[in-house]
């Protein structure tokens, strides 16, 4: 096995961005039912059928830090990532952390999905912005569910048609406040996949099989708050591990974070919450449509919140439409409503940019209070993807020396007022008028999923939101 100094001396590493950056750094329910034994004492927690909760739990929001081993012949041995996680599912699609799918066909036990999954490429943090070699890949997935067991197989491809596939077996188990999810999977990697991502397009290598296994866990701390954890290990096939670019055959990864999920231990909490009184009992229905128009600003969030906003000299603008569906009426037993809210944004052309589109998926929280009329504070967390990087964002990143990323973290901050209260009209009781900040950023270089960038873009918007 060649050492990293030999990698540095190889003149062929200028061919691909990933190879170049690495070379520059190389100086561097067992069954369907759980029955409770008759000997269980009354004061002991009774086993639950987690499959039931797993299949009915439709939402969640979390964030944490992932640690991954670097298998390449470089000086750094590990890399860290901040990862926001969204969970949502309905009859048509699902999002579960770093994977998502649209159902082509499904019933209680079988699914055929158009599927995407994030593929990590663990390289030193300093190189991730330039290479941006990890991404969401797309393919087809078949999934089989049987009680607490889950089996799936998928055939995937990256954006350059380098193919691979995997098969995975999982088990979902819960007892008391603990949820455990052991898993094992095999990856079938094509020769061109191995040659690019492990041989760095400089060494020939055939296809191979990689094995990964581990366990995900969740511990219920209080109400909707959970502690999240994961530990896993992967074994790269022998031929790939023996490449001169590689330094180890085994990769360990771990994750630690926290999240908000339904509180199954207190299903009656919702009935104990004292809600803000209103003149119409049905004024907060479970779905909404929001229409907004926004104006770009070069100011950061701190400046916006301190009323020191600058005007974009090129007057870049967008128009957006968001749909929302309510997930829960309470959070931590407080009257905080959560909505899953996907949206489409159309950025209008200007002197410095062409028309472009943006897609958003997020979970948004609303807190309603009365100060004369009813007011609502809102905050959303999610993901944003643009078809092309906007001028307001690209110019800032270019100034800072970053390569832009189309996928970034999304935040939304809003304040609105009920128009029925404002104009004393029951016919307008389901309409809210407000102001919001539309924010995209890379979480201060902390996430390789967002290209390890610091910065992003902000738009101030005015909107109308109608509940039905």
Domains 4-33+44-260 and 271-467 share a fold: no
Tens of pLDDT along the chain (468 residues)?
A: 444 443 333 333 323 443 433 333 343 333 333 343 444 444 555 444 444 465 568 899 999 999 999 999 898 899 999 999 999 999 999 999 999 999 999 998 999 999 999 999 988 888 888 887 888 999 999 999 998 999 999 999 998 999 999 999 999 998 889 999 999 999 999 999 999 999 988 998 999 999 999 999 999 999 999 999 999 999 999 999 999 999 999 999 999 999 999 987 754 433 333 343 333 334 457 999 999 999 999 999 999 999 999 999 999 999 999 999 999 999 998 999 999 999 999 999 999 999 999 999 999 999 999 999 999 999 999 999 999 999 999 888 888 888 889 999 999 999 999 999 999 999 999 999 999 999 999 888 888 888 888 888 999 999 999 999
What pLDDT does residue 355 have? Answer: 97
Q: Note the pLDDT of residue 5.
A: 40
Which neighbouring-strand residues pair with 379? 365, 413
CA pseudo-torsion sign 322, 326, 329, 333: negative
| Whole-number pLDDT of residue 125 | 83
Sign of CA dihedral 117, 122, 124, 125: positive
Domain ranges of the chain: 4-33+44-260, 271-467
Helices assigned H by DSSP within 84-190: 125-131
pLDDT at 284: 53
The fold adopted by the segment(s) 4-33+44-260 is Outer membrane phospholipase (ompla); Chain C (2.40.230)
What integer pLDDT is reported at residue 3 of this predicted model?
A: 43
Instruction: Specify the pLDDT at position 20.
Output: 36
Distance of alpha carbon 86 from alpha carbon 94, whole angstroms: 10
- In 31-121, at which residue ranges do the beta strands (DSSP E only) sit? 59-69, 78-89, 93-96, 99-106, 110-119
- DSSP calls for 432-447: EEEEEEEEEE-TTTT-
Question: At a CB cut-off of 8 Å and minimum separation 6, what does 279 contact?
Answer: 420, 421, 426, 429
Q: Which tokens go with 285?
A: 């229905």
Which helix or strand (DSSP H or E) is residue 304 part of?
A: helix 301-305
Q: How far is CA 294 from CA 2, 10, 212, in A?
A: 55, 50, 45
Phi, psi dihedral angles at 262 (to 5 degrees): -60, 145
Instruction: Tell how many helices (H) and how many strands (E) occur in the chain.
Output: 10, 22
Which pLDDT score, from 0 to 100, does residue 49 have?
41
| pLDDT at residue 127, as a whole number | 84
Separation of alpha carbons 72 and 247, rounded Å: 5
Average pLDDT, the chain: 85
Q: At 21, list the tokens.
A: 């950056």
| Best CATH choice for the domain 271-467 from the list 2.40.160.20, 2.40.40.20, 3.10.180.10, 3.40.640.10 | 2.40.160.20
How many CA atoms lie within 13 Å of 148's alpha carbon, on the beta-carbon side? 21
Q: What is the pLDDT of residue 43?
A: 52
Tokens of 155: 């055939």
Percent of the chain with pLDDT over 70: 84
- What pLDDT score does 272 carry? 38
Identify the burial level of 424 via C-beta atoms within 10 angstroms of its C-beta, where 0-12 means exposed, 13-18 middle and 19 or more buried. Answer: exposed
Residues in CB range of 406: below 8 A, 6 or more apart:
385, 386, 387, 388, 389
Q: What is the pTM of this model?
A: 0.83
Within 13 A of 36's CA, how many CA atoms are on the CB side? Answer: 11
Going 121 to 123 to 125 to 128, the CA torsion angle's sign is negative
pLDDT at 398: 85
């Amino acid at each position: 096995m060649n050492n990293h100094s030999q990698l540095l001396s190889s003149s062929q590493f200028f061919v691909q961005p990933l190879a170049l950056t690495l070379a520059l750094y190389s100086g561097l329910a067992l069954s369907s039912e759980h029955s409770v034994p008759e000997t269980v004492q009354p004061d002991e927690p009774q086993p639950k059928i987690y499959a039931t909760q797993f299949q009915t739990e439709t939402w969640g929001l979390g964030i944490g830090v992932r640690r991954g081993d670097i298998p390449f012949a470089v000086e750094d041995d590990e890399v860290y990532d901040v990862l926001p996680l969204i969970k949502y599912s309905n009859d048509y699609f699902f999002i579960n952390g770093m994977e998502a799918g649209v159902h082509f066909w499904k019933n209680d036990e079988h699914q055929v999905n158009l599927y995407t999954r994030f593929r990590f490429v663990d390289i030193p943090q300093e190189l991730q912005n330039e290479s941006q070699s990890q991404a969401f890949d797309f393919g087809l997935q078949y999934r089989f569910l049987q009680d607490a067991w889950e089996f799936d197989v998928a055939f995937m491809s990256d954006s350059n048609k380098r193919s691979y596939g995997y098969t995975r077996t999982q088990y979902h188990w819960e007892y008391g406040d603990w949820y455990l999810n052991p898993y094992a999977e095999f990856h079938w990697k094509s020769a061109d996949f191995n040659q690019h991502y492990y041989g760095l397009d400089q060494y020939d290598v055939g296809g191979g099989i990689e094995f990964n296994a581990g366990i995900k866990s969740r511990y219920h701390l209080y109400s909707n708050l959970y502690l999240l954890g994961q530990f896993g290990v992967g074994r790269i096939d022998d031929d790939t591990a023996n490449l001169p670019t590689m330094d180890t055959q085994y990769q360990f990864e771990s994750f630690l974070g926290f999240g908000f999920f339904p509180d199954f231990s207190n299903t009656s909490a919702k009935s104990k919450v004292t809600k803000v009184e209103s003149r119409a009992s049905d004024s907060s229905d479970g779905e909404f449509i929001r229409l907004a128009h926004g104006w770009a600003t070069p100011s950061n969030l701190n400046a916006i919140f301190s009323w020191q906003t600058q005007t974009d000299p090129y007057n870049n603008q967008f128009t957006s439409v968001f749909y929302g569906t309510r997930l829960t009426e309470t959070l931590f037993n407080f009257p905080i409503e959560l909505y899953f809210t996907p949206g489409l944004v159309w950025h209008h052309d200007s002197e410095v940019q062409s028309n472009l589109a943006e897609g958003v998926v997020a979970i948004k929280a609303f807190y309603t209070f009365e100060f004369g009329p009813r007011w609502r504070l809102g905050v959303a967390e999610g993901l944003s993807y643009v078809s092309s990087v906007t001028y307001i964002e690209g110019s800032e990143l270019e100034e800072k020396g970053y390569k832009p990323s189309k996928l970034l973290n999304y935040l939304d901050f809003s304040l609105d007022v009920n128009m029925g209260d404002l104009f004393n009209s029951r016919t307008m009781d389901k309409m809210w008028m407000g102001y919001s900040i539309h924010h995209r950023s890379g979480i201060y270089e902390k996430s390789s999923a967002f290209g390890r960038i610091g910065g992003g873009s902000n738009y101030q918007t005015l909107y109308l939101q109608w509940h039905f």
